[in-house]
Amino acid sequence: MLLPSALTPALSLQVACEYGMVHVVSESGGPKGKDYCILYNPQWAHLPHDLGKASLLQLRDWTASMLCSLPDVPARGFSNQIPLVARGNCTFYEKVRLAQGGGARGLLIVSKEALVPPGGNKTQYDEIGIPVALLSHKDMLDIFKSFGRAVRAALYAPNEPMLDYNMVIIFVMAVGTVALGGYWAGSRDVKKRYMKHKRDDGPEKQDDEAVDVTPVMICVFVVMCCSMLVLLYYFYDQLVYVIIGIFCLSSSTGLYSCLSPLVQRLPFGRCRVPDNSLPYFHKRPPVSLLLLALLCLAVSVLWGAFRNEDQWAWVLQDALGVAFCLHMLKTIRLPTFKACTLLLLVLFVYDVFFVFITPFLTKSGNSIMVEVATGPSDSATHEKLPMVLKVPRLNASPLALCDRPFSLLGFGDILVPGLLVAYCHRFDIQVQSSRVYFVACTVEGPTFISLGAVFRHRPTAREGL
């Protein structure tokens, strides 16, 4: 996703934050040490990247105090300790200033709410020389339950791997879907032209007509996207099951659309349904296609029933998602380059607003797009929207405790460039240009993304719709 230069100064004012780890061991030599996720601001103080270089200090439970005034500091201070204090009642700066004045070597602020980066201003950053981080209340309870009250802790921030191999899998799936969908869309036009000159084959061999997108349809579509995104942001727990149901139906339709041309080529199962007056069945469809429809519906129902099984359900979700995207790319047609330009322009504005502007408008400081795509942290259902390709992280890293276990790519990042690629292929066929525009448009996108990933300092997955 590209960020306009006009937004760069505004975004630079946001608080820098990174994930880190707190390694906890028992002073009595009990169970093996364990890592817990923390969120820290490197502008206060940097953490060592290697656990072996981090100081193992006494972790002191001071959560009964907010540490907002001098009387909250114990008489003997926090000499060579890392105090745990409760979040609230004063700024992060006031807490860490008192902790540093009491001799603390670090500060962990326990939060029952979603973790946010501990921020301050440049003058405050220059004044403080100890790290300050946020730890979830749930992790604090687990620490004392597992290790007792006498514990030591070390704060460190391991380096993230430059590339997780799951990104390669997502890249191949996305680019493959765009290329195959664009090629299929153009091939349908070739077949359609051929069938116009072969009237005697009959209407039953005709494919479903493509839907031409008009400027009015584009504007209505974007308004609907904005409305649905806002509704999901405020009524996520109520609407998420509606979206899951729609995905099951649409993805099974897409899977059927992708597999039916292959099934029709099989040398068996060509017998047809007997004469009847039932809806749809009166056309006497082949038995093989009926069995295929039942199979596709069964696959989507299977995913719906076991969608939260992280070990294998993502495979079904990706297969259904790719089939859905292929079906949309071959069915929806942008008739003119003007329509392509309008669609890309309004979706670009839509993307920038909901990802980069909405953090300044929401109370939590999170973007509406990311909040909806990844699921609100305070969701009662803990359900996730299925309109994404998801692949589990394959690199072993302690930071996997902090970050989400899956890398995500929204269907929008496949469908939008895919529609442009499909248009280019149709144009190639119309002007008989040996698919030069189709190849150029297909290769240009992945090349740009690859170059961007090489020059980015810390590449991460795109997590949006």
Q: Where are the alpha helices (DSSP H) in 13-121?
A: 92-101
Domain end marker among 136, 156, 176: 156
* Rounded distance between C-alpha atoms, residue 30 and residue 152, angstroms: 12
Catalytic residues: 351, 413
Give the list of residues 6+ apart from residue 175 with CB closer than 8 angstroms, or none.
442, 445, 446
- Same domain assignment for residues 109 and 206: no
- Same domain assignment for residues 385 and 359: yes
β-strands 332-333, 388-392 pairing: unpaired
Give the list of residues 6+ apart from residue 10 with CB closer than 8 angstroms, or none.
360
Assign 431 a pLDDT band (cuts: 50, 70, 90).
confident
- Same domain assignment for residues 125 and 221: no
Q: Is residue 136 part of a domain?
A: yes
When the pLDDT of each residue in the chain is averaged and rounded to a whole number, the result is: 81
Range of the domain at 88: 19-156
- Same domain assignment for residues 233 and 186: yes
Assign 450 a pLDDT band (cuts: 50, 70, 90).
low
Question: Among candidates 167, 220, 253, 183, which has minimal Cα distance to 452?
Answer: 167
Which of 459 and 99 is assigned the larger pLDDT? 99
pLDDT tens digits for 416-427?
889 999 999 888
> Number of folded domains in the chain?
2
Instruction: Provide the whole-model pTM.
Output: 0.72
pLDDT tens digits for 196-252?
555 544 444 445 567 888 899 999 999 999 999 999 999 999 999 999 999 999 999
Q: Is residue 57 part of a domain?
A: yes
Domain end marker among 135, 156, 177: 156
Percentage of the residues of the chain whose pLDDT score is greater than 70: 82
- Same domain assignment for residues 29 and 140: yes
- Same domain assignment for residues 91 and 173: no
Packed helices 412-431 and 313-331: angle between N→C axes, nearest 10 degrees:
40
- Same domain assignment for residues 181 and 106: no
- Same domain assignment for residues 143 and 214: no
- Same domain assignment for residues 174 and 111: no
The pLDDT value recorded for residue 204 is: 45
Q: Is residue 243 part of a domain?
A: no
pLDDT tens digits for 86-130?
888 788 888 888 888 888 888 888 888 766 667 666 677 778 888
- Same domain assignment for residues 125 and 220: no
The pLDDT value recorded for residue 28 is: 78
The pLDDT value recorded for residue 116 is: 63
